[in-house]
Structure 1
């Protein structure tokens, strides 16, 4: 087995396994850390799909920003919330999560079987026009140039979104301290 295939299956196993544990976990702190692991594994899978920009955005926005702010908001929350977590009053029924997993598994299995029989038309068109990205292409240079030119507005909008999330976390922490 090639090392690339082994790393891909390892990342896929980490992503799916930690996501399944995340749904089944009743402890919010552990769920947040499992979410962190899921997002990192997903970023690794994006790298394998040669989607460098999406992987970079995944790490910067979700792992680096939103998840850390969720963690701080949880840690700075009031003590009654933490006591409720210890007692397990935040439990949700597990059958909706199981239904979603079965539905998504069915969709993924059907898609896998469709791709295994014949590649879609857009892939065949890209192969004929020689527009396929290979692993030897230097996409990091294009990533940096596009981030600061073509995608500058979305990049700045993400920074404003993160600033708003930080202000919300600070407001939650201050509001919890007064009561």
Structure 2
């Protein structure tokens, strides 16, 4: 039963995230982003990370999505139509420096991960020997879990929050876009 629930939540997460990336309608993408964030919170609950799940719902669903919806409501119709038209263009010459920086950053990150061998770091091996039970909900256990077992999802969510804030600020900006 647990595996079926996990697969169901995973499928909802992947499908809704794919729809967010592939949809040309920005408002529908925001609502599917809502579904994506809720299903990720469900995966956190399933992984016994209740604090991270509640934080996900309060900050991302309650804050970021509301900010994005208000941005869409306050934006002019012409701005939204221009953004929907640009969705069909994958890369332009103006985006080449940003793409090169992103690829260089990815190469540095992958190289650092392979050279670092993070599974054999002292603090990681010590944390892997710790066992936590669902009734252990102290701040120390939450901090240890966030910095060991849930470090990658925690960082992925922080990057997602940053991208959402930059996107919302870009859409909320008045006047002609410099793109």
TM range (shorter): 0.5 to 0.7
5 Å-filtered alignment, 1:16-31, equals 16-31=14-29
| Paired residue total | 120
C-alpha spacing 1:12/1:26, structure 2 compared with 1 (3 Å): same
CA contact (8 A) 1:27 1:85 kept: no
Q: What residue number does 2:42 align with?
A: 44
| Aligned mate of 2:79, from 81, 94, 105 | 81
Q: What residue number does 2:103 align with?
A: none
Q: What residue number does 1:59 align with?
A: 57
Residue 33 of structure 1, CA deviation: 1.1
Q: Which has the larger radius of gyration?
A: 1
- Unmatched 5+ stretches in structure 2: 92-98, 100-105, 111-123, 143-164
Cα distance between partner residues in 2 of 1:138 and 1:132: 6
What is the TM-score when the length of structure 2 is the normalising length?
A: 0.54
Cα distance between partner residues in 2 of 1:22 and 1:122: 39
- Which aligned segments of 4 or more residues in structure 1 are displaced greater than 6 angstroms? none
What is the TM-score when the length of structure 1 is the normalising length?
A: 0.54
Cα distance between partner residues in 2 of 1:23 and 1:68: 19
Cα distance between partner residues in 2 of 1:123 and 1:15: 29
5 Å-filtered alignment, 1:1-179, equals 2=1, 4-85=2-83, 88-93=85-90, 121=125, 125-126=129-130, 131-134=131-134, 137=135, 139=137, 142=138, 172=172
Residue 30 of structure 1, CA deviation: 1.3
Cα distance between partner residues in 1 of 2:19 and 2:129: 40
Q: What residue number does 1:150 align with?
A: none
Cα distance between partner residues in 1 of 2:75 and 2:88: 19
Residue 85 of structure 1, CA deviation: 5.0
C-alpha spacing 1:70/1:124, structure 2 compared with 1 (3 Å): closer
- Unmatched 5+ stretches in structure 1: 97-102, 108-119, 147-164
C-alpha root-mean-square deviation of aligned residues, in Å?
3.6
2:54 partner SS: helix
Cα distance between partner residues in 2 of 1:44 and 1:52: 9
Residue 9 of structure 1, CA deviation: 1.0
Q: For CA contacts below 8 A with separation 6 or more, give which structure has more relative contact order.
A: 1
